[in-house]
Structure 1
Amino acid sequence: MNYSKDSREKLEKDNKKNPNKQKRTKGKILTFRILFMAIVIGLFAIVGGGLGIFIGIIKSTPDVSQLQLKPTTNFTSFVYDENNVEIDTFSGADNRIYVTLDKIPTYLRDAFIALEDERFYEHNGIDIRGIFRAIVKNLQSGTFSEGASTITQQLIKNNILTTEKKLTRKIQEQYLAVEFEKLYDKDMILEYYLNTIALGEGVKGVQAASQRYFGKDVSELTLAESAVIAVITQAPTRYNPIRNPQNNREKVEIALQKMYEQGMITEEQKNAALAEDPYKNIKEVDQIYQEKSGHSYFVDAVLQQVIDDLQAQKGMTSTEANNLIYGGGLSIYTTLDQRMQGIVDTYIEDESLYPQSAYQLKLSYSVSVKKAGEDKISNYGGEGIVKSEEDIESFKKDKLETWGITSADKIQKETLLRIPQPQAAFVVMDYRNGQVKALSGGRGDKAGRGFNRATAATRQPGSTFKILAAYAPALDTGVISANTLLIDEPITLQNPGGKPYSPRNWDGKFEGPTPIRRAIYKSMNVLAVKTTQLVGIDTAYDYLQNFGFTTLSANDKVQSLPLGGLTKGVTPLELNAAFGAIANDGMYVQPILYTKVLAHDGTVLLDNTSEAHAQKSHQVIKTDTAHILTDMMQDVMTQPEGTGRRLRSTFNSMPVAGKTGTTTNSVDLTFAGYTPYYVATIWTGHDTQKEIVANGSYHLDIWGKIMNEIHEGLPYKTFPKPNISDDSVMEVKLCKLSGKLATELCEADPDHVIESEYFTKDTVPTETCDIHVEVDVCKESGKIANEYCPKDILEKRIIKRDTTSQDPVIRGEICDIHGSVIDEPEEELPDDEGGWPTFPWPSPSPSPLPTPSPTPSPSLPPVVNPSPSPNPDDYDPFAVPQG
């Protein structure tokens, strides 16, 4: 179109000649001008609006200076034994173990770079060439499957932004990538990335993946193994080397080829890696992992104690504590002695040590089934008891029939747990510092955090409670001494609410006057109840609480308390700690399973080391009381009538003090005992309480075998004796026959009737023996001389008075040769006066010990309605131990 002046003048002349044409021309020009302006304004609006949106997105992006690129959550927590050897881990869905870049092999780093970001060391956080390449491939394929995220972008997406596929997030991701590369060098970004990337099976990071798939440290990976791990990140399920090894192998070939093309490896290295078969090792490691997927009873107990302490000391909720343990990257240092734990596990699991006549098998059976004609999967489960392994298939068949499962249905998963009966629990502890060295919460199969009988099973402790609720309080308060005589006889007492209670001895017999020492080793019920009456039930209950029991209630303040007749019972762990207090000179130390817990950054989170744990200790009984109790409880094993005498057949390398506990019908069998090194407690019984119809002492054999092996190689020690140097305790010689202070006459007895006993200063006996006496004997008759026997034929002899006779001498022992018996005829005496003259009884020799101020003899509450044959229905079966 010609817009020159001549042309415009010619056009105006033409328009004047044709007015209509002139109007049409002006309209076209105006329309063009308006359209042009609209386009220009629209373009400015689009560009300006887009720029405004972009600026808005950038402004909404988090401040890079306030962001932490390093991963800080979902780290694996590690558990160590007493020698700092790793024994277990706690990890959640995102199992991560941090490792520095210098520990990661170069070919593992290169494998990720070759697959994910081949220009990683060249770009500034955004790979422009990669973006255009992805656009072209997506246009060619008609999909958006090809990405262009750099390693830096992936790190930001994993640690800072969400994974949603939106333009806003993508712009923020690219902006942050550029900004972060200004703050961090490439190696640091790569280190963070390799510790963050998801690699299947719930693990994150190359260290966790290396241990999960190959059972080795990441630094030990081969080139082929490195490629196996690197390819997982592109599709964790499709390239999972456990579930889909063939897919993984195909991708490994691609990865190795890329590494070769990019000059990262040689052709020889590539071919050698392709010839390697890493999948066989992966399968073996996975099998081991599956077998060890459950934690031990000891680790279960550690977990619970850490959770409890995090709540008590750090104010956390149970959920917060669990999350911290399973994702906080803690380091938990336990008290476990692996050698001892192995010994405990070996004998607790040894079926030959349990009575075969009592054997049963508790089964827990569950199945996941896809029934014919249905798409959903149904789950079923149930329990039962069988007599032997041969009955298992029949049990399973019956369960499947009950659930309506037929051969047409497809069982997806089947689980069968075998739990033998009777069960057992065992705890061994160093009583000086409270460190539990080994623990077993049961035998047989265990699923997940199974029921821990050592820490959670509250069962009746039986006669072990006689020491803690009767004799320890009574000795400590000076109510009794080791030699105090109590009358073993039928009694009936009143319980709260007016119900009468008549304790009976396990053998059904009563012995009359009996010293406390004998009452302990023979486990005499009546005398334990009487002792608690002397000290007071409230006082006894207070002592039990100081011994560390947390499962008691006010309802346990009953006459059967010292016999273990409790509302709930106690756990083996707490019973063990209570006896440990006696072993530890009367000082209670709270049992612990860990020494310290470190946070992920290495700071101390929980402290149970010696100095910190000392605050959780307190004196329960006097040191002298503890030593006297220890001395008496050794008789439980050494005396011929001791209820624990069988123990010496399996353990005799060290002195042992302890107490047996057997409830009625042997429902629960318990033994708590200690050596100069450790305290250990065993419990055995059926999970569902029932009588053990078998030898009631097999648990002593197990205890003895375990402790015998634990003590191998340890120097022989004896228990400390009561401290008699400060006059607070006295060692006194007693006559066994009278139970009183021994005299020279007692020492001269050829039957060796002298024994030593310890007494506190206030409980020393004041009476001397009145059974051994010295008399003149006529040599001619060989009998006790009368007043007519010649002095020159007399000799001194020691005789034993018959305590069953009311007469001062025994009939028939007076000389019948000399005196009026010969010189004059015998005068008949009335029958009711007896037939023999009597003589003054000689005074016993003076006591070899100074006599302290006498203390009043303990008095018992009046006996109510004594009954020699108590009704067995009137007492709690759990309250009457048998030994």
Structure 2
Amino acid sequence: MAGRQERIEPSFDHEDRSSEDAFSVSADDRAVPTAANDKRGKTAKKTAANQAGAARASKTRGGGSRRGGSGGDGGGGRQRRKRSFIGHLFRLAIAGVLWGTLAVAAIIGYFAVKLPQEAWQIPDRPPNVKIVSVQGDLIANRGLTGGKAVSLEEMSPFIPEAVVAIEDRRFYEHWGVDPIGIVRAAFTNWRAGTTVQGGSTLTQQLAKNIFLNPEQTLQRKIQEAILAVWLEHKFTKDQILDMYLNRVYFGSGATGVEAAARRYFNKSAKDVTLSEAATLAGLLKAPSRLSPARDPKAAKARSEVVLAAMLDEHKIDKEQYDDAIAEKPTKAKSYWDGAQHYAADLVMRDIKKLIGDVKEDVTVETTIDMPLEKEAEQVVRKTIDGTNRNVSQGALVSIDGTGAIRALVGGRDYAQSQYDRAVDARRQPGSTFKPFVYETALEHGWKPESVMVDGPVQIGNWKPQNYENNYRGPVMLADALRFSLNTVAAKLIDAVGTQNVIDTAHRMGITSDIVNNPSIALGTSEVSLLELTSAFAPFANNGYKATPHLVNRITAEDGKVLWERGAEVPPKVVSPEIVSMMNAMLRRVIESGTGRKAALKGFDAAGKTGTTQDFKDAWFVGYTADLITGVWFGNDNGAKMKHVTGGSLPAEAWHAFMAYAHKDMPAAPLPGDYQIGQPEAPLVADGNGGYQDGQLPIEGGQQPVGANGGGQVYDRAPPPGVVVEGRVSPPPRRESDESLFRRIFGG
């Protein structure tokens, strides 16, 4: 029909083109014609219509070949196909990037969702317990970290420089994950044939330490990378490095640089030298294997690698490098060193009872006097090391009249054994228990001048003997205690009753269970050195109970007081009269008795020795008006010492410590002014191998058994109102009655 435009059918230049090419759209096809190009567009359409009509006419006539018909367009078709192929590759690449990005995003999202919710919050650093002496000196840090957090500004600048140089040189350049570092580590490990270098950044290590477990899995590595990127987004580089250095493990129980510096070098992180900083940084590769406490040479070799890295990174100069290399390897103890750690352990036992769970950094102010603590440690160690009498362990406790522990040594070397023999060990106290027997007797009416016969005794099946296996005959109680006569102590406990003695010991401060048996008069029921020492305190403070304690106050970092010891007056457990008599008797133990080696020149002192059977334990507990100190020596396995008595090594060690403790103190007298006089109701020879009481006042006209002049021996000088029952055989006649009487009582 005239004027009607014929439909133009789509055509294909080549039948062998792929479907993608056939439906590809060129840039020209996507162009949108503008008004300025309308005329040119109409002309192009007319030309295209004429060409299409000619092609149809040619087909109708059957003239010309398909190849010949397109020959004039061959070059342009190839160009179009080339451009179409390149465009196709570009689109494939774009699609690949898009799909790859989506896949990575999906994987990241999947593993991010699997992270625990708490992973998106930085957990609080485990709280530190800072334990200080009464002077404010650091005793120890305790807690999971073992040291307080210190900022980058507070610590030695060598520490962060050394750690960055050896662990993550590009720390300040990457964004949490370092592809360059990963490739470098992979190439290094491939060349070495083993894993010699890690690709993890410090940020990744921090993420692993505070959020994840150490398992080596693909999931954990992906989660580590996710968290590292998140950390870099949330914190500055210095903040990340600060967190890392305060939370990373340095081996030997030390977490964080402060704990590590204290652990290996016995100094604060702020005082660490270049060589020491390199040692700390070197530990991060293998904290246990490279610990200076385990292998100083390996630690030194690794520190030299760190120093070389610092030199290469221009963090130090050649002179600094050479000086640090020249330093000798650090040899650290295999465990925390110093007897003060016995006190620190005791603090950690008590702290939960005082403030509950520790949820923030706290400072515990103790009663420990550090100069006294150091001296006590040296005295115990020197005494053991200076003898060949088969002594391997010792302990010392010193408290004041309030019960405040001024020094506590639980063994010869804390680094070798953390078992506290001053607090936890229960051993037989031997004759150091006798003062409680004598105190009970005084409270029942006896006097220091009361006389008893030192002779054979049997109570049930128990037949105690004296240390030297001999007897002195009639003696005053004061002399029986001075020479630590077993038979007299046995007779006293038999007279006053075992339970009364047990009650006295508990009232004075013994907390262990005591067996209800007369043999406890000789110290057969086990106690600790700490409780035994505290039980002597009422003699020194005029009768007040002194409960041993170590903590004065606990404060938070902001100064808030969480707990403080009160100022309550302790109960009075001994009357001043009894205190005065006991001090008079125990003073003579040091002046002229079994404890002469403990005597302090210029100071009023008293105390008691103790030795158990077969020399398994040796004790001395003594006191002045200022300090009460107990000393024990022995062996953990109960092995016999070589004739070590309480009057030998323990008394000597007590003297050495107390002389140091009192060197700047004014002399002060012990409570009471009791003066021991002549024997009360002396026994006289009756001519028949025994002794008979001369003038023994008895209330109510009662008379003790044997007071009839019939040749029996009076083995007790009874107090007023007490009737004595029973007899014992006369003592062996080692000398004439007259000379014996004169030797004991004079004249």
- Classify the TM-score, shorter chain: 0.5 to 0.7
Matched, 1:714 2:714: no
Residues in 2 aligned to 1:690 and 1:115: alpha-carbon distance in whole angstroms:
55
1:336–1:437: 8 Å Cα contact kept in structure 2?
yes
- What does residue 453 of structure 2 align with? 488
Q: 1:659 to 1:13 in 2, by over 3 A?
A: farther
1:636–1:643: 8 Å Cα contact kept in structure 2?
yes
| Amino acid in the other structure paired with 2:516 | K
Q: 1:432 to 1:238 in 2, by over 3 A?
A: closer
- What does residue 241 of structure 2 align with? 190
- What does residue 523 of structure 2 align with? 564
What is the Cα deviation at residue 654 of structure 1?
A: 0.9
Q: Report % sequence identity.
A: 24
- What does residue 433 of structure 2 align with? 465
- What does residue 673 of structure 1 align with? 622
2:131–2:344: 8 Å Cα contact kept in structure 1?
no
Matched, 1:299 2:341: yes
What is the Cα deviation at residue 574 of structure 1?
A: 2.2
Q: 1:273 to 1:549 in 2, by over 3 A?
A: same
Matched, 1:704 2:655: yes
Return 5+ residue gaps in structure 1 as ranges: 15-38, 260-264, 317-323, 361-419, 723-730, 741-763, 768-803, 807-854, 871-883
Residues in 2 aligned to 1:252 and 1:457: alpha-carbon distance in whole angstroms:
48
- What does residue 546 of structure 2 align with? 589
- What does residue 131 of structure 1 align with? 179
Residues in 2 aligned to 1:491 and 1:222: alpha-carbon distance in whole angstroms:
70
Residues in 2 aligned to 1:698 and 1:122: alpha-carbon distance in whole angstroms:
69
Q: 1:185 to 1:718 in 2, by over 3 A?
A: same
Residues in 2 aligned to 1:630 and 1:134: alpha-carbon distance in whole angstroms:
78
- For 1:151-162, list aligned pairs within 5 A: 151-162=202-213
Residues in 1 aligned to 2:311 and 2:533: alpha-carbon distance in whole angstroms:
60
Secondary structure, aligned partner of 2:445: coil
Residues in 1 aligned to 2:626 and 2:188: alpha-carbon distance in whole angstroms:
78
- For 1:408-557, list aligned pairs within 5 A: 420-421=390-391, 424-439=394-409, 441-442=411-412, 448-449=416-417, 452-468=420-436, 470-476=437-443, 479-482=444-447, 485-488=450-453, 494-495=459-460, 499=461, 501=463, 508-509=470-471, 511-512=473-474, 515-553=476-514, 556-557=515-516
Residues in 2 aligned to 1:250 and 1:669: alpha-carbon distance in whole angstroms:
53
Residues in 1 aligned to 2:543 and 2:499: alpha-carbon distance in whole angstroms:
20
Return 5+ residue gaps in structure 2 as ranges: 1-11, 14-21, 23-47, 62-91, 683-696, 701-707, 711-718, 733-747
Q: 1:541 to 1:222 in 2, by over 3 A?
A: closer
- After superposition, the C-alpha distances for 1:461-486 in whole angstroms (9 at most, x for unaligned) are 33332221x2222334xx21426745
Residues in 2 aligned to 1:238 and 1:668: alpha-carbon distance in whole angstroms:
40
What is the Cα deviation at residue 715 of structure 1?
A: 0.8
Q: 1:66 to 1:539 in 2, by over 3 A?
A: farther
Residues in 1 aligned to 2:275 and 2:450: alpha-carbon distance in whole angstroms:
82
What is the Cα deviation at residue 80 of structure 1?
A: 3.8
Residues in 2 aligned to 1:737 and 1:222: alpha-carbon distance in whole angstroms:
71
- For 1:777-816, list aligned pairs within 5 A: none
CA RMSD, aligned part only? 5.3
Secondary structure, aligned partner of 2:409: strand
Secondary structure, aligned partner of 1:658: strand
Matched, 1:858 2:731: no
- What does residue 622 of structure 1 align with? 575
Residues in 1 aligned to 2:485 and 2:198: alpha-carbon distance in whole angstroms:
83
Matched, 1:57 2:57: no
| Amino acid in the other structure paired with 2:149 | Y
- TM-score, reference length from structure 1: 0.57
What is the Cα deviation at residue 586 of structure 1?
A: 2.2
- What does residue 312 of structure 2 align with? 257
1:294–1:448: 8 Å Cα contact kept in structure 2?
no
Residues in 1 aligned to 2:595 and 2:181: alpha-carbon distance in whole angstroms:
86
1:196–1:205: 8 Å Cα contact kept in structure 2?
yes
Aligned residues, how many? 618
Q: 1:734 to 1:622 in 2, by over 3 A?
A: closer
- What does residue 323 of structure 2 align with? 277
Q: 1:186 to 1:506 in 2, by over 3 A?
A: same
- What does residue 787 of structure 1 align with? none
| Amino acid in the other structure paired with 1:676 | A
Q: 1:625 to 1:154 in 2, by over 3 A?
A: same
Matched, 1:657 2:606: yes
Q: 1:169 to 1:662 in 2, by over 3 A?
A: closer
- For 1:28-107, list aligned pairs within 5 A: 52-63=106-117, 67-68=121-122, 72-73=125-126, 80-88=132-140, 98-104=149-155
1:522–1:643: 8 Å Cα contact kept in structure 2?
yes
What is the Cα deviation at residue 100 of structure 1?
A: 0.6
Residues in 2 aligned to 1:529 and 1:136: alpha-carbon distance in whole angstroms:
83
- After superposition, the C-alpha distances for 1:676-725 in whole angstroms (9 at most, x for unaligned) are 11112334456645475588843444433442333223112112337xxx
Secondary structure, aligned partner of 1:625: helix
Residues in 2 aligned to 1:666 and 1:231: alpha-carbon distance in whole angstroms:
50
Residues in 2 aligned to 1:88 and 1:588: alpha-carbon distance in whole angstroms:
30
1:238–1:247: 8 Å Cα contact kept in structure 2?
no
Structure 1 counterpart of 2:350, from 295, 309, 324: 309
Secondary structure, aligned partner of 1:587: coil
Q: 1:867 to 1:191 in 2, by over 3 A?
A: same
What is the Cα deviation at residue 272 of structure 1?
A: 3.7
What is the Cα deviation at residue 174 of structure 1?
A: 4.5
Structure with a larger share of its residues in strand: 1
1:231–1:252: 8 Å Cα contact kept in structure 2?
no
